[in-house]
Amino acid sequence: MKDGTCSRRPGARHSRRGRSIALASALAWAALALHAGYAYAGDTLRVGSKRFGESYLLGELLTRTAAAAGAAAEHHQGLGNTAILFAALRQGSIDLYPEYTGTVTAEILQQPDVAATPGAIDRALRPLGIGAAIPFGFDNTYAIAVGDRLATAQHLATISDLARLPALRPGLSHEFLGRADGWPGLARAYGLRQQPVALDHGLAYEALRAGQVDAIDVYATDARIAAYRLRVLRDDKGFFPRYDAVVLYRLDVPARFPRAWQALSALAGSIDTDRMIALNGEVELRHRSFAEVAAELVDGASGAKAGAPAARTAGLWSRLAGADFWPLTAQHVKLVATSVALAVAAGVPLGALAALNPATGSVVLGITAALQTVPSLALLAMLIPLVGSIGTVPALIALFLYALLPVVRNTCTGLQEVPAGIRLAALALGLSSRDRLRHIDLPLALPVILAGVKTAAVLSVGTATIAAFIGAGGYGERISIGLALNDSQMLWAGALPAAALAVMTQGLFGLLELLWRRRHPY
């Protein structure tokens, strides 16, 4: 450590492009902000969905139905849980999304006394500028399921039966564990004393099959209930309300998109429970894409019927080289390049300040290091209400904050490594501190600074996959879908390109370092 601020590393030189980088980054940030402002102009119907298979499918169905009616529509898929989706709806980041009546009364309105019917919910939401309409025709209630063997051995038929098995191991989804109409209320109503573990909903079925947990929360329309031979326990105390699938929408949507709204309204009553189970099975069990199944529904040519022959499962290569590869690549590269450019524009001056002023440097390095400890998903969730939108802007802010530390730290280290003799020579030549920094210190510190930028870029490639959970795109979209469906090939289709991009980024910076050292061998 030197002056208590930065660790020492061998240093060398830099170019004079700091101001250009800062200007380019500022222009990029302004363009992104302008783009975000246009997103509210109402020219595009923005459909959201939660991060589980049925919500993806319904969101895709709504998007394609609106597009077939002539509207420009886009699907922001897998945005997260109820709180994130409803906040995005109220803020205008999305225009509508599929929801469930029981969720609205318990989680959004927090008024369990409100009847869980579309009409009552619509009246309760209107003061918030939100409406509820288009009941699809099926009730996707929560339920608790156990393996058939366990149910037979322990004579389990109702949720009340679980109370006599305190050692049972429930594996429950994260949202169910925190919801008022989830585990807390269920445990009180039935006197359950088990200690559940948290699992992603898409992974819970495999955990139950592998014997790692004994009971899971399921949705009544899950196709895997029958495929995995699970026993759904009867809610004998009537704890769960109805969860009729409806559409929550901003009240200005019918006026902004009259033809699309008319087409969407025609979906009311079009999907019953058996039909929804079959459609979910097309995605969950036959590994067809949400887009393909939704397109068949919109075209009126769906082959997704119970007992229909299994579709051919797409292989890993076809998933990797799918039509979405280049758009996702462009989104991922844009997120990484912009956030790292912003980190360089802010991090190099902050690093220089830390090197020149030890007291300030300790504060700067402490803050940037503390930012690294905030979990990425938590940071994204906190940024949504602060920024007032979902998608690119909060994702870029989060990635920028995570990329700061290596840039700031390496800039500080590189500048402190400049030999004192060279600084004295610059002083003897009459150079000001500013000129010395520009023409001597930064060029000598360039290899160390470049190493920090490389670290920031490689880390950002991996962290950017999380951005898909708030609609920012990138390879994380495939990972999110793979988790929701427990589809390992889709997970690999997202993880492998991200890993390849990280390796390419590492190699690119390694080449830049090599070229610099060849041109400046001393």
Q: Is the pLDDT of residue 13 over 50?
A: no
Average pLDDT, integer, range 462-488: 81
CATH code of the domain in which 212 resides: 3.40.190.120
Taking each helix axis from N to C end, the angle separating 273-284 and 290-299, rounded to the nearest 10 degrees, works out to 140
User: Mean pLDDT score of the chain, rounded to an integer?
Assistant: 84
Average pLDDT, integer, range 281-308: 75
* 160 and 130 housed in the same domain: no
Q: Is the pLDDT of residue 289 over 60?
A: yes
- The model's pLDDT over 78-100, given as tens digits with 9 standing for 90+, comes to 887 888 899 889 989 899 999 99
pLDDT at residue 188, as a whole number: 95
CB atoms < 10 A from the CB of 452, how many?
27
* 329 and 422 housed in the same domain: yes
Among residues 171, 204, 233, the one where a domain terminates is 233
CB atoms < 10 A from the CB of 460, how many?
25
Q: Is the pLDDT of residue 6 over 90?
A: no
* 441 and 308 housed in the same domain: no
* 403 and 459 housed in the same domain: yes
Does 417 reside within a domain?
yes
pLDDT at residue 180, as a whole number: 83
Residue bearing the bigger pLDDT, 435 or 314 = 435
pLDDT at residue 37, as a whole number: 40
Answer yes or no: are the C-beta atoms of 407 and 347 closer than 8 Å: yes
* 222 and 257 housed in the same domain: no
Q: Is 223 helix (H, G, I), strand (E, B) or coil?
A: coil
CA proximity to 230, closest of 148, 140, 144: 148
- Confidence class of residue 25 from pLDDT cuts 50, 70 and 90? very low
CB atoms < 10 A from the CB of 327, how many?
12
d(CA 330, CA 83): 29
* 218 and 160 housed in the same domain: yes
Does 294 reside within a domain?
yes
Does 38 reside within a domain?
no
Does 1 reside within a domain?
no
Eight-class DSSP state of 146: E
Does 339 reside within a domain?
yes
Amino acid occupying residue 207: A
Eight-class DSSP state of 158: B
**Which of 63-67, 182-186, 222-226, 441-445 has the least mean pLDDT?**
441-445
Among residues 211, 233, 255, the one where a domain terminates is 233
**Which of 338-342, 374-378, 486-490, 518-522 has the least mean pLDDT?**
518-522
d(CA 148, CA 159): 15
The pair of structure tokens assigned to 300 is 């009126």
* 132 and 148 housed in the same domain: no
* 345 and 289 housed in the same domain: no
- The model's pLDDT over 306-361, given as tens digits with 9 standing for 90+, comes to 334 344 455 778 778 877 899 899 999 999 999 999 999 999 999 988 888 888 88
Q: Which residue has the tokens 């318990």?
A: 106
176-183: long-range pairs with CB below 8 Å, 24+: 176/142, 176/217, 179/103, 179/106, 179/107, 180/106, 180/107, 180/110, 180/112, 181/102, 181/103, 181/106, 181/107, 181/112, 181/142, 181/239, 181/240, 181/241, 182/142, 182/217, 183/217
Q: How many domains does the chain have?
A: 3
* 376 and 477 housed in the same domain: yes
* 424 and 481 housed in the same domain: yes
Task: Tally DSSP H helices, then E strands, for the chain.
Answer: 24, 10
pLDDT at residue 314, as a whole number: 58
Q: Residue 403 half-sphere exposure, CB side, CA atoms within 13 Å?
A: 34
Domain with 286, as residue range(s), is 44-139+243-313
* 428 and 461 housed in the same domain: yes
Q: Give the strand pairing for 245-250 and 96-100.
A: antiparallel
Give the bridge partners for 249, in sequence order.
Answer: 96, 131
- Confidence class of residue 12 from pLDDT cuts 50, 70 and 90? very low
Does 4 reside within a domain?
no
Average pLDDT, integer, range 282-301: 86
- The model's pLDDT over 158-209, given as tens digits with 9 standing for 90+, comes to 999 999 999 999 999 888 998 888 999 999 999 999 999 998 887 888 899 9
pLDDT at residue 404, as a whole number: 94
* 210 and 271 housed in the same domain: no
